[in-house]
Chains A and B, each alone.
Chain A
């Protein structure tokens, strides 16, 4: 089972930032549970084989005030994929720092190694004002502006700044099946 954690403060953002991820998992017939980070409980973690943490809208940074609610990431031993805001959380949990960088729309990024089915130059959909940098992670992809994909040096933690649920659904499929 995949635990899909949403970070949107306004429930109406679900349709844009969470449902497209659900649709990818549904097409693969992969069981998942979608839950807001405020409603997590220990039983969910014991049942989950993997975790995906969603992104949210440009104006919704409320999750940044709640990063302490994600301390469980340090204890969870299975794979986690953080998307946009989800990537910010992964970096911040490991002493990362946020930088202001805005990218909106389609852009070209470069993967320096194979990453869930992607390598080299790739077109992605971006929607962010911030990026995160943490020395605990290796940088796997970059755009002209900033880091786009990261992998923890020792753990199964992966982050992408772009939104793979838009133009790179295969990335979510590969993560779900790995």
Chain B
């Protein structure tokens, strides 16, 4: 089946896209939504412009859709992007990396149904520790680009998701109920390399800003 992947550049959408390919589906294009609203209900925003570099490395066409990110109105922009993928690439369905958000998944389901497309959410309800382990086992190289919850601070920026990270987040989960996969918005991530890519991306520049328990690392990649 020909699928378009809703792709934010982070670990969940990349892993869902990888799973789709592993199950013999063709990834015809990636769809990235550039939201001007950092508080968007639907879309992750940090480092999203770097998705262009990821798409190049994966040799997959990229559809970019800009949105003001206003609640519900941004859904029209998403629907327009998905329709464009259908018209241009003849896709039969969409794959997303949604894990827990009923808000996100139900709106994407409605758009897909209205466009007569299948909607695949292979990480839906996935155990958060299992997800991190799967990413590590499948050689995903992921960097933390944002932290937004107590007691996380700027020392977490730039960390790789590896066995040490997993152990540390298990401790945080036990003590502070921090979601280990960052599904509650605790972490933002960026995929530097994964089995979809033909070459690894490298961080060429970074800018760190924030305060207390809300920190962002803007990166440039080559």
Q: Are B119 and A15 in contact (CB under 8 A)?
A: no
Q: Which of A23, A104, A129 contacts B106 (CB under 8 A)?
A: A104
A16 CB to nearest chain B CB (Å): 5
Nearest-neighbor residue (CB-CB) of A20 within chain B = B125
In the assembled complex, A13 has its CB within 8 A of some CB on chain B: yes
Residues 108-126 of B, flagged 1 when their CB comes within 8 A of A and 0 if not, give: 0110110011111111111
Q: Are B113 and A12 in contact (CB under 8 A)?
A: no
Q: Are B23 and A11 in contact (CB under 8 A)?
A: yes
In the assembled complex, A99 has its CB within 8 A of some CB on chain B: no
Q: Are B125 and A57 in contact (CB under 8 A)?
A: no
Nearest-neighbor residue (CB-CB) of B3 within chain A = A12
A141 CB to nearest chain B CB (Å): 19
Instruction: Give the contacts of B22-37 with A (CB-CB under 8 A).
Output: 23, 25
In the assembled complex, A167 has its CB within 8 A of some CB on chain B: yes
Q: Which has the most chain B C-beta neighbours within 10 Å: A20, A57, A165? A: A57
Q: Are B106 and A12 in contact (CB under 8 A)?
A: no
Assuming the contacts A10-B1, A11-B23, asked whether A16 and B121 have C-beta atoms less than 8 A apart, the reply is yes
Residues 121-142 of B, flagged 1 when their CB comes within 8 A of A and 0 if not, give: 1111111000000000000000
In the assembled complex, A101 has its CB within 8 A of some CB on chain B: no
- List, in ascending order, chain A residues with CB within 8 A of B1's CB: 10
Q: Are A23 and B125 in contact (CB under 8 A)?
A: yes
Q: Are B109 and A16 in contact (CB under 8 A)?
A: no
Q: Are A166 and B125 in contact (CB under 8 A)?
A: yes
A56 CB to nearest chain B CB (Å): 11
Q: Are B125 and A12 in contact (CB under 8 A)?
A: no
- List, in ascending order, chain A residues with CB within 8 A of B23's CB: 11-12
Q: Are B124 and A105 in contact (CB under 8 A)?
A: no
In the assembled complex, B143 has its CB within 8 A of some CB on chain A: no
Give the CA-CA distance A10 to B23 in the complex, in Å.
Answer: 10
In the assembled complex, A59 has its CB within 8 A of some CB on chain B: yes
Nearest-neighbor residue (CB-CB) of B1 within chain A = A10
Q: Are A125 and B120 in contact (CB under 8 A)?
A: no
- List, in ascending order, chain B residues with CB within 8 A of A15's CB: 19, 120-124, 126
- List, in ascending order, chain A residues with CB within 8 A of B122's CB: 12, 15-16
Give the CA-CA distance A104 to B123 in the complex, in Å.
Answer: 18
In the assembled complex, A44 has its CB within 8 A of some CB on chain B: no
Give the CA-CA distance A166 to B100 in the complex, in Å.
Answer: 8
Q: Which residues of B contact A (CB under 8 A)?
A: 1, 19-20, 23, 25, 102-103, 106-107, 109-110, 112-113, 116-127
11 contacts between A and B (CB under 8 A): A11-B23, A12-B20, A12-B23, A16-B122, A57-B118, A57-B119, A58-B113, A102-B113, A104-B109, A106-B102, A129-B113
Minimum-distance CB pairs A-B, first 7: A105-B106, A15-B122, A20-B125, A16-B124, A12-B23, A104-B106, A16-B121
